[in-house]
Amino acid sequence: MNATSNAGSAWGPATWPELRYADWKQTAATLHMWTQIVGKIRLAMAPAVNHYWHVPLYVTACGLTTSAIPYGDGNFEIEFDFLRHKLVIRTSTGATQELPLTPQSVADFYAAFMAALGSLSIHIKIWPMPVEIPNPIRFDQDRTHASYDGDSVQRFFQALSSVDRVLKEFRGRFIGKCSPVHFFWGSFDLAVTRFSGRRAPERPGADAVTREAYSHEVISAGFWPGNDQCDAMIYTYAAPEPPGFSTAPLKPTQAFYSREFSEFFLKYEDLRKELDPRAALLQFVESAYAAGAALGNWDRASLERASA
């Protein structure tokens, strides 16, 4: 057990590191595109699952993974290792390829990644356009985004991993239908979603993805690393939003409701300054769920663990 005894310092305040968007905005924009390239491989090959749950990535002990993707008679997996700064491709035949995560353009990353897949006899075409961002540039033509600061990526991963652990605890308290805790590469956020079990009203004019995502009543929570307008946030919302939800007294007291986004937010910076960030995050997502479920008349007795 000596290997674990030397790691004690890793579980202290550093697991909720400072994460100011301005400090890593160029790296964040580049990494966002890299995750979209990898995510689109999973989208192209994974069997469809309700609410597009077949497309996200998942937090691992060292980064983000696609999980196993079926291909031919076997499987392959792609993992961002943010501790060693490698992109690792593994196959069920035992073959592997590793690419260094270093400052490089999206176009160069895309070319190297597709070549690495080809060297493993994995030949997949994807639509090379980013999604869910303004002014997208084709992956094979994007030389604008070319930053990779390893220290910043590790801080992001530490924050992501800490939130992931708490959201998994939150998910475990619910016995109704619930999503995995998963990372959506389009919006670049980590999320978990609880369902009431009832269909939701149709959304007029919604696209196919939105219609599928919100086909049923949900209360969702997650972590988003920010943009030029704001730093990292924890968020939660109910869809459809029941009357009175926007004025519900959520905890901790720093939580606030945005009418622009119809969501509650808790600044990650406020969270990390709490004496017990884990407890504060659970308090935030649980108080939002309790308000939304009560106001939305969810059958809580049949959806929640009695010990929660």
Confidence at residue 8, expressed as pLDDT on a 0 to 100 scale:
38
244-293 tens-digit pLDDT:
999 999 999 999 999 999 999 999 999 999 999 999 999 999 999 999 99
Q: How confident is the model at residue 10 (pLDDT cuts 50, 70, 90)?
A: very low
Q: What is the pLDDT of residue 47?
A: 95
Mean pLDDT of the chain: 94
| Nearest-angstrom CA–CA distance, 221 and 245 | 15
At residue 15 the predicted structure's pLDDT band, cuts being 50, 70 and 90, is confident
116-160 pLDDT tens trace = 999 999 999 999 999 999 999 999 999 999 999 999 999 999 999
Q: Assign 246 to helix, strand or coil.
A: helix
Which pLDDT does position 11 carry in this prediction?
45
d(CA 265, CA 297): 23
Residues 84-94 have a mean pLDDT of 98
Task: Give the separation between CA 119 and CA 97, rounded to whole angstroms.
Answer: 8
Q: Inform me whether the pLDDT recorded for 197 exceeds 80.
A: yes
6 pLDDT more than 50: no
Q: What is the distance between the alpha carbons of residues 149 and 31, in angstroms, rounded to a whole number?
A: 10
Task: State the burial class of residue 9 (Cβ atoms within 10 Å of its Cβ: 0-12, 13-18, 19+).
Answer: exposed
Residues 236-249 have a mean pLDDT of 98
Query: What's the pLDDT tens digit per position in 294-303?
Result: 999 999 999 9
Angle value at C-alpha 266, between 264 and 267, nearest 5 degrees = 135
Q: What is the mean pLDDT of residues 217-245?
A: 98
Residue % of the chain over a pLDDT of 90: 92
Residue extents of the structural domains in the chain: 22-141, 150-303
Q: What is the pTM of this model?
A: 0.94
Which stretches of the chain are assigned E, i.e. beta strand?
A: 58-59, 63-65, 69-71, 74-81, 86-91, 96-100, 182-184, 189-199, 216-224, 233-239, 256-258, 263-267
Residue 9: predicted pLDDT: 41
| Per-residue pLDDT, 12 | 46
What is the rounded radius of gyration, in angstroms, for the C-alpha atoms of the chain? 20
Res. 14: pLDDT tops 80 = no
Please report the pLDDT score of residue 5 as a whole number: 39
Read off the tokens for 242: 């029941």
The pLDDT value given to residue 184? 98
Residue % of the chain over a pLDDT of 70 = 95
